[in-house]
Amino acid sequence: MSSSSRREPNGFDQRVKIDERSPLISETNNTNLGIRLNDVIEIKTFSAREAIYLLKKAFPAFFAFLLLQVLQVTNVFFIGHLGQAELAGLALGTMVNQRIIWLLSEQILIYLGQDAELSHYAALYLRYLLLGAPPALIFWCLEKFLQGQGIMKATTYVLAICCPINIFLNYVLIWGPLSLGYIGAPIATTIIHWLMLLLTFLYIKYIDGYDVWGGWSHSSFKDWSSFTRLALPGMLTSCADWWIYELIALCAGYFGSVSLASHRLILTSTLLLFQIPHSLAVAASNRVGNLLGAGLPNRAIITTNTSLLLAVIGATCNAMILLCFKDSIGYFFTHDEDVVKMVASILPLAAIFQLSDGVGNIGSGVLRGQGRLKIVAAIFLPAFYLIGLPLGLMFAFKFSMGLKGLWTGVTCASISMAVGIFLAVSMTDWKWEVEECFRRVKSELIVDDAGEL
């Protein structure tokens, strides 16, 4: 945590502790914001102390996200060893799952030109996963509710309990005593989703996170416009980021089960490594938002620079892992030689993707901390759908590059996104962001003073 023994001219002590639960406006000086904004203090470009703070905050989030991916990897592992068709069916099923098309998935996939056997496997997977959708959605909302309070460990504890249970359930239901085969995977996932939700509720109620819940009131249904202005761009960004891979899965299906299964394994591998920049982005977003709310733009600059440096270091490590183990990663999930070879041929592209995606996502976290979600959406959407998708389709079909062409397009999209995000962050007017933060908080305080809470 960054601190200094120097006292600013207005009397604000730089040693005051700033974290996710600090008030947005400092009680020591909430009437003299203009002086604080005009203070000139020495700015260090990077801070080892800030790096340690970010890593400490990111670690529980990283562990939680990693365990969450392990839940999905478990399904891929067990199904991948059943066969190539089953693994390809899982890839299609996951794609339709994310697009919220459930009961008619088999007919829709066949209509779109997908293989009938793979479409059947995809629909079968979704049919048994349907009951697990509601608890999964509520769990995600509760996770963000806790992260907004700086409670990063809750999800880690919940998933640390659920992951080994998930492995046990997959073994019992797929290979073990019950031997249900393919449908055992979605059944296990549904059970785990309900268990995750139950444990999260219990954590909030009896351990931490319940204090900020003020209960239901009429004010819950007011001022939804400000909430929507923040929520819609964030939703568009998340959808743009995820749906591009599902569109690749759909296109990969036209090249056969080997391409579709390979795409699933490549995506699984990159998602596992993605948790490093993703967790740092969460920590950077919370930290930057809190520092701006406290009227400390210079510290926010240090946090931003430090987090971007950590992004480059982490992304480089991820890229080296993919390059060093590209020939053996596929064997962890399947024994199919064709799938393993195709995965190995595309992982170098995924290594390049790690570098740009790491910088872009942490930069996006900084912009979210500033409340500039519209900027993030305005960069993500063109990068993926005006640059990445058209290029991927051209490389894949016109130049007959197949799955490698699709991933080439995604890599180009990621590079474009990273450049746009980096420029947006580097052009930030930090003092204006602090003033804007105070204007938003002041408007909310006026509503509160009117007795709307």
Residue 174 confidence (pLDDT) above 60: yes
User: What's the rounded Cα separation, in Å, for the pair 238 and 231?
Assistant: 11
**Residues 226 and 143 occupy one common structural domain:** no
**Does residue 14 form part of some domain?**
no
pTM exceeds 0.85, yes or no: no
**Residues 277 and 137 occupy one common structural domain:** no
Of the residues 213, 248, 266, the one at which a domain ends: 213
Return the minimum-mean-pLDDT range out of 30-44, 67-81, 199-213, 254-268.
30-44
Whole-number pLDDT of residue 166: 93
**Does residue 40 form part of some domain?**
no
**Residues 207 and 81 occupy one common structural domain:** yes
**Residues 326 and 381 occupy one common structural domain:** yes
Q: Above pLDDT 70, what percent of the chain?
A: 83
Q: Above pLDDT 90, what percent of the chain?
A: 40
Each residue's pLDDT tens digit, 66-87: 888 888 888 888 888 787 788 8
- Average of per-residue pLDDT across 140-145: 87
User: What's the rounded Cα separation, in Å, for the pair 252 and 271?
Assistant: 18
Residue 60 pLDDT level (bands cut at 50, 70, 90): confident
Closest CA to 309 of 54, 60, 56, 61: 54
- Average of per-residue pLDDT across 302-331: 93
**Residues 207 and 224 occupy one common structural domain:** no
- Average of per-residue pLDDT across 271-293: 89
Whole-number pLDDT of residue 18: 56
Residue 22 pLDDT level (bands cut at 50, 70, 90): low
**Does residue 432 form part of some domain?**
yes
Each residue's pLDDT tens digit, 280-289: 998 999 899 8
**Residues 234 and 200 occupy one common structural domain:** no
- Give the residue with greater pLDDT, 444 vs 228: 228
**Does residue 21 form part of some domain?**
no
**Residues 209 and 224 occupy one common structural domain:** no
**How many structural domains does the chain have?**
2
Residue 218 confidence (pLDDT) above 90: no
Whole-number pLDDT of residue 100: 55
Whole-number pLDDT of residue 37: 40
Return the minimum-mean-pLDDT range out of 12-21, 66-75, 229-238, 378-387.
12-21
**Does residue 400 form part of some domain?**
yes
Helix (H) or strand (E) holding 369: helix 337-369
Of the residues 182, 213, 244, the one at which a domain ends: 213
Residue 9 confidence (pLDDT) above 80: no
Q: Are 369 and 292 in contact (CB under 8 A)?
A: yes
**Does residue 3 form part of some domain?**
no
Residue 192 confidence (pLDDT) above 60: yes
Q: 410: domain range?
A: 220-453
**Residues 112 and 127 occupy one common structural domain:** yes
**Residues 209 and 255 occupy one common structural domain:** no
**Does residue 278 form part of some domain?**
yes
Q: Are 170 and 74 in contact (CB under 8 A)?
A: yes
**Residues 131 and 199 occupy one common structural domain:** yes
- Only one residue has tokens 């008619």, namely 104
**Residues 333 and 242 occupy one common structural domain:** yes
Q: State the Cα angle at 329 between 328 and 334, rounded to 5°.
A: 95
Residue 338 confidence (pLDDT) above 90: yes
Return the minimum-mean-pLDDT range out of 17-21, 188-192, 194-198.
17-21
Hey, what's the torsion of the CAs at 135, 155, 293, 6, to 10 degrees?
Answer: 180
Question: Can you tell me whether residue 13 is helix, strand or coil?
Answer: strand
Of the residues 213, 231, 255, the one at which a domain ends: 213
Whole-number pLDDT of residue 96: 64
Residue 16 confidence (pLDDT) above 80: no
Whole-number pLDDT of residue 138: 93
- Give the residue with greater pLDDT, 361 vs 217: 361
Residue 404 confidence (pLDDT) above 80: yes
Whole-number pLDDT of residue 57: 84
- Only one residue has tokens 């079968």, namely 124
Q: 237 is written with which tokens?
A: 């960004």
**Does residue 25 form part of some domain?**
no
* Intra-chain end-to-end CA distance of the chain, in Å: 33
- Average of per-residue pLDDT across 11-23: 47
**Residues 304 and 362 occupy one common structural domain:** yes
Residue 19 pLDDT level (bands cut at 50, 70, 90): low
Q: For all residues of the chain together, what is the average pLDDT?
A: 82
